[in-house]
C-alpha cells in the first residue's frame, strides 16, 4: 500500500464520551423506535437467497430506464449495454458499501458521544444494522463484479462527520444527509432492478434505513433548539456545503468517480458526465427525490434553513425564489 493510500484509511479525531447516570427516558418516540429495531432484526445470510446467480432472472439494472434520455446510450450495442449494466451497478453498489461502512463507524462514535442513554441504546441497534448492511452489500457486489474505490466526495463527507467532536453534527451529517442520500439511491436502484436477490436485499436494508432517519430526526428536533447560535450556524453551514456539492448539476458537483466506468470502457468520461447530468432520468429522479421530497423539507422542519442561509440555497436552485 502506498503512503497516501494508507493515510486515506486513517482519520484522527478527539471524541468526548458521555456517561448517563440518570437512567431517565428522554422521549417516547425513541422507546418505540428501539422496540421496532429489536423486533425487526434480520439475518443477512439467511433472509436473502444467495443461491441464485446474480443478474440471470432479470437485469441488475434496467439501463433503458437509467440512461434512456442520454445521447451516448442510444448509440451502444447490446453487448456494450450489458457491460454498462454490470459495471454501473457494481460502481453504485460499491458506493453503497463504502457508505455503509461509514455509517457503521460513525454510529459507533454516536454510542459514545450522544448524551442520553436511551439514544445510546437506539444507536447500539443501528451499529448492528449497519454491520449487516456492510455484510450484504459486500457479498452482492463481489458476486456481481468487483468493488470500485470509494468516491472522493463521499469519502470527504464521511471523514468530516467522523472527525468532528460535535455529536450534533455527526447526527445531522450521518442520520440526515448520508442516510437521506442512501435512501434516495436505494429507492432508485430498487425501481431500476429486476434481479430478485438485489430487490430483496434493498427491501430489507431500506426498512432499517427508514428507522435511522427517524432516529436522527427525533434526536435533532430535541437537540437543535438547545444549541447556542454559533454551533447552530456551524450545522447550517455544514448542511449547505454538503448539499451544494452533492446536488449534481455541473462539472464540479456530484459523484464524479462514475467516470472510472466510462474510462474503463474507453469512452470520453467528461463528455458522458455532461450528457448524463443534463439528460439522464436517473440524475433527475435522484436530485428531486433527495432534495425536494426529503432533505430540504426535513432540514426546514429542523430549523436548519435559517433566513441567513436560505439565499444560498436559492442561488443554487434548491429553494424556490420568493415571489
Q: Where are the alpha helices (DSSP H) in 68-178?
A: 71-74, 78-113, 117-144, 152-163, 167-170
**Cα-Cα end-to-end distance for the chain:** 56
Query: At a CB cut-off of 8 Å and minimum separation 6, what does 55 contact?
Result: 85, 86, 144, 195
| Nearer Cβ to Fe ion (63/175) | 175
Which 3 state secondary structure label does DSSP give 167? helix
* Closest separation in Å from C-beta 94 to Fe ion: 15
In the complex, the residues that contact Fe ion under the rule CB under 5 A are: 100, 103, 130, 133, 209, 212
| Nearer Cβ to Fe ion (175/287) | 175
| Nearer Cβ to Fe ion (103/239) | 103
State the Cα–Cα distance between residues 316 and 318, nearest whole angstrom. 6
* Closest separation in Å from C-beta 225 to Fe ion: 25
* Closest separation in Å from C-beta 188 to Fe ion: 16
| Nearer Cβ to Fe ion (100/275) | 100
* Closest separation in Å from C-beta 293 to Fe ion: 18
* Closest separation in Å from C-beta 259 to Fe ion: 26
Most distant pair of Cα atoms in the chain: their distance: 66
Is residue 123 within 8 A of residue 146, CB to CB? The reply is no
Grid coordinates of 92 = 453504485
Is residue 44 within 8 A of residue 135, CB to CB? The reply is yes
| Nearer Cβ to Fe ion (110/309) | 110
Amino acid at each position: 500500500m502506498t503512503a497516501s493510500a494508507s493515510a486515506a484509511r486513517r482519520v484522527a479525531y478527539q471524541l468526548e464520551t458521555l456517561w448517563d447516570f440518570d437512567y431517565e427516558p428522554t422521549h417516547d418516540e425513541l422507546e418505540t423506535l428501539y422496540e421496532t429495531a429489536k423486533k425487526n432484526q434480520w439475518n443477512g445470510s439467511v433472509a436473502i437467497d444467495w443461491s441464485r446467480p446474480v443478474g440471470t432472472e432479470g437485469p441488475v439494472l434496467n439501463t433503458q430506464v437509467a440512461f434512456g434520455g442520454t445521447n451516448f446510450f442510444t448509440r451502444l450495442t447490446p453487448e456494450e449495454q450489458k457491460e454498462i449494466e454490470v459495471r454501473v451497478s457494481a460502481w453504485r453498489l460499491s458506493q453503497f458499501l463504502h457508505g455503509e461502512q461509514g455509517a457503521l463507524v460513525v454510529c459507533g462514535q454516536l454510542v459514545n458521544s450522544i448524551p442520553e442513554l436511551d439514544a445510546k441504546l437506539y444507536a447500539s441497534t443501528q451499529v448492528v444494522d449497519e454491520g449487516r448492511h456492510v455484510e450484504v452489500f459486500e457479498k452482492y457486489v463481489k458476486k456481481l463484479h468487483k468493488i470500485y474505490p470509494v468516491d472522493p466526495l463521499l469519502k470527504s463527507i464521511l471523514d468530516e462527520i467522523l472527525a468532528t467532536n460535535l455529536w450534533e453534527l455527526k447526527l445531522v451529517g450521518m442520520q440526515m444527509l448520508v442516510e437521506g442520500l442512501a435512501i434516495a439511491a436505494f429507492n432508485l436502484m430498487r425501481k431500476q432492478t429486476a434481479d430478485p436477490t438485489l430487490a430483496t436485499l434493498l427491501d430489507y436494508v431500506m426498512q432499517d434505513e427508514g428507522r435511522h432517519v427517524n432516529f436522527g430526526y427525533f434526536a435533532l428536533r430535541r437537540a437543535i433548539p438547545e444549541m447556542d447560535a454559533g454551533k447552530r450556524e456551524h450545522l447550517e453551514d455544514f448542511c449547505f456545503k454538503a448539499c451544494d456539492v452533492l446536488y449534481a448539476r455541473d462539472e464540479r458537483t456530484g459523484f464524479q468517480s462514475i467516470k472510472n466506468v466510462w474510462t474503463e470502457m474507453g469512452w470520453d468520461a467528461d463528455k458522458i458526465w455532461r450528457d448524463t447530468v443534463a439528460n439522464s432520468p436517473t440524475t433527475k429522479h435522484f436530485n428531486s427525490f433527495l432534495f425536494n421530497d426529503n432533505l430540504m423539507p426535513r432540514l426546514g422542519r429542523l430549523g436548519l434553513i435559517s433566513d441567513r442561509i436560505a439565499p444560498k440555497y436559492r442561488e443554487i436552485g434548491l429553494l424556490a425564489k420568493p415571489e
